Structure 1
Amino acid sequence: MQLLFIGQIIGVVSASALLLFLLARLWPRRGPGMRCQGYAVLITGCDSGFGHMLAVALDRRGFTVFAGCLQPEAAGAQSLTRLCTSRLRILKLDVTSEQDVQLARKTVQDNLPEKGLWAVVNNAGISDWAEIEWSSSQDFQNMLNVNLMGGIRTSIALLPLVRVAKGRMVFVSSIFSFFTCLNMAAYSVSKRGLEAFADCLRVEMASFGVKVSIIQPGNFGQATDIVKVKTDEEIWARLDEERKHTFNRSYIELANQYFTSSCRSGSGSAAPVVQAMVHALTSARPRSRYLLVPPTELILFRLLPLLPTALTDAFFSLSSMYSTRRRLLYTQ
């Protein structure tokens, strides 16, 4: 009887989620149409990837773009000056540095176009993968300092300018903010924290007419250089003797092969992510969240946050990777 009741609940939740999803897709939205000239946008993490491509797209739309780059003299940043108009300005911006953030704010404030700072796009981020026991607390701290605290530092510094323009705050998160899997603990913690910050900010900023959006890309490993490639030897060398006994060499090789192949199976085009960012910045009705996964996976990722933990945890047991992991770790 209890199992039947649980099944009925799951059925109702699934049907409701599907209905909400269809309504959200069918409900008419005004497309991007704001006049971008005279407004500025600050983007962090423009050296490469999503930030680099967004800077080019916004420059072509007429925005004044402040492109925050970790290495302003490197090839990625310099290519922006060739691809974009004179409206684009490169800023040295390490989001882990309070000094860099404050200098960026001053530069932006001193060089704003007539309509002010329309938006901040918190895009800068790093990625790494490792099981929790392969990591140190410093590994977690490094991830949090960029992915979470970097967004918080930049937002707090620039919010007064965005409030004046009644503009937008955009945060680049990930499906790993709610999708739990092996090897992504530090990254998931940083992105879940970033979304919590953005959610709180959205509620507070509503009083000022500032809209807040979260971008949740799926696997775009081929389209960006955020994925960190490791060798089996590098992973093995970091483990102490106790963990080498638990996480044997065979499993290390399997995990590395699995992670690498998963990244290579991701989308090779960042266009959907950049389009979502542009919509969040320019639409009269931006979404609170933009989930960017293949259509075949969309319903699954919509449902996951609504399902009971027991079900979502059981979902992973269906993967051959998990069964092989259990066999390798418990038979040594």
Structure 2
Amino acid sequence: MDDYALSFWIYMGVMAVFVGGTVKKFLASHFSAMPSLVAWLGATLLVERLCALCMPAVLALAALCAACWLYSTWAAPAPTLPVEGKAVFITGCDTGFGHATAKQLDAMGFEVFATVLDLEGQGAKHLRGTCSQRLTLLQVDITQPQQVQQALINTKAKLGMKGLWALVNNAGICVNFGDAELSLMSNYRGCMEVNFFGTLSVTKTLLPLLRQNKGRILTISSPSGELPFPCLASYGASKAALNLFTNTLRHELEPWGVKVSTILPSAFKTGQSSNTVYWEKQHQDLMQNLSPSLLEEYGEEYILETKELFQSHAKTANEDLSPVINTIVEALLSPYPQARYYAGPGVGLMYFIHSNFPITLSDKFLQRLFLKKKVIPRALRKQNGLSILNHNNNDINSNNNNITKPE
């Protein structure tokens, strides 16, 4: 009996280690860990079977796993490429990911070309005051082809015969909130103009320099370009176009030795996302330009709730941009960069659910994760009210018909 109890507790201990490891990997923030998760699940099943057959084999396997864990913990980190002599072009460096990436890469010794919308703005002044002489600030609106061409001329003049190692496509905007039907056509065009056509223009312009160096292209995209987030139709559509372009480019540039990667971050506080005045202006623009019929059908209270939910979501976003910055650095210096990187907490779980669960469950997860709407559009409230009234009337008539009338 004692031998049985000992075996049972050994069994429970080993299984707890494996199951705990599986859960930990499942909740890990990076979806790129999925292969190791699958391997861990397979090992768990193998251990369970061995436990049922032969306890000494289980102990031997547990010892082997412990040795592998110790090796992975203390083993030397994966080799990276040297920084020396590498030049990187980054768009959208006034704030957010672009600003933080420019500072980080400059501190590491890269030669950085950072584009800003305003050379006299706070972001540009901060970069000018904190970074080395290696960093070059360029005033570029990526939607203006002549400014993009001028940036190419300035970059080539400073690089000389040396090619460009990498392009980080970071510049982008999210100029709307609200249902797809409520979003203004100007918002759809604005998102496409910056997020897709602007990035396309910069990429095509700098490609000769990147091919010369067999460099790489990193594009900061968004999960909303692949997952149907509520109230992000215009932004998501522009990112979807960008994702397809980037993936196509990855295939086409492989013979040239140019590596192409897409980085998909989770929610972070960047740009105007935490600016209350920005959200108020977006709300006012929508209310002023929305057709009276749509405003009547959806209702002011429905649109107001959407604005407040966006503001609330922005306030809870992560302020620490390091997961994205570290991912950019990894993609720049890895000898074999991945085609896709998932940066930030929750992205791995989100993609896992989207890829492996039924669409109805995946959609409900996104709705609860992003915007927990409570207000129903005004027209639907009226319809529901009429339905309830008609239902009650039918019940009353039915009850009247069942009453036996006196003869």
Normalising by the smaller structure, the TM-score range is 0.7 to 0.9
CA distance in 2, matches of 1:195, 1:311: 24
Superposition pairs for residues 237-252 of structure 1, below 5 Å? 237-252=288-303
Name the residue aligned to 1:45.
92
State the partner residue of 2:242. Answer: 194
2:128 match: 81
Q: 2:163 touches 2:213 (CA, 8 Å); kept in 1?
A: yes
Determine whether 1:300 maps to 2:350: yes
2:306 maps to which of 255, 268, 276: 255
Please give the alpha-carbon distance, in whole angstroms, between the structure 2 residues aligned to 1:263 and 1:135: 19
Secondary structure of the equivalent of 1:133? coil
| Distance change in 2, residues 1:244/1:192 (3 Å) | same
2:146 alignment partner, SS class: helix
Whether the aligned pair in 2 keeps the contact of 1:175 and 1:291 (CA below 8 Å) is no
- The match for 1:182 is 230
Residue 274 (structure 1) shift: 0.7
> Partners in 2 of 1:19 and 1:95 — Cα distance?
36
2: distance between equivalents of 1:307 and 1:33?
A: 36
Aligned to 2:173: 126
CA distance 1:328–1:195, shift in 2 (3 Å): same
Matches within 5 A, 1:258-273: 258-273=309-324
What do residues 134-185 of structure 1 show as CA deviations (whole Å, max 9, x unaligned)? 2232221111010011111011010111011111101010111112122111
On the 8 A contact 2:214/2:257 being kept in 1, the answer is yes
Amino acid at match of 1:274: I
2:186 is aligned, of 119, 127, 138, to 138
Structure 2 residue matching 1:331: 3-state secondary structure: helix
Change in 2 beyond 3 A, CA 1:32/1:239: farther
**Partner amino acid, structure 2, of 1:294:** P
Which amino acid is 1:163 matched to? R
* Residue from 360, 363, 380 that aligns with 1:313: 363
Task: Return the letter of the residue paired with 2:340.
Answer: R
Q: Deviation digits for residues 235-255 of structure 1, max 9, x if unmatched?
A: 323322101111112212221
Asked if structure 1 preserves the Cα contact closer than 8 Å seen for 2:89 and 2:166, the reply is yes
Q: Give the one of 166, 182, 203 matched to 1:155.
A: 203
Separation in 1 of the partners of 2:76 and 2:256? Answer: 22
Q: Deviations over 1:35-92 (max 9, x none)?
A: 2222211100011111011011111111111111111121211211111110111111
- Preserved CA contact (<8 Å) 1:48 1:225: no
Q: What CA distance in whole angstroms lies between the structure 2 residues aligned with 1:173 and 1:24? A: 29
- Map of 1:12-91 to 2, 5 A cutoff? 20=35, 22=37, 31=78, 33-91=80-138
SS state of the match for residue 105, structure 1? helix
Counterpart code for 1:179: L
CA RMSD, aligned part only?
A: 2.8
Identify unmatched segments of 5+ residues in structure 2: 1-25, 27-31, 41-68, 383-407
Structure 2 CA distance, aligned partners of 1:117 and 1:236?
46
Which protein is richer in helix relative to its size?
2
Q: What stretches of structure 1 of length at least 5 have no aligned partner? A: 1-13
Structure whose CA Rg is larger: 2
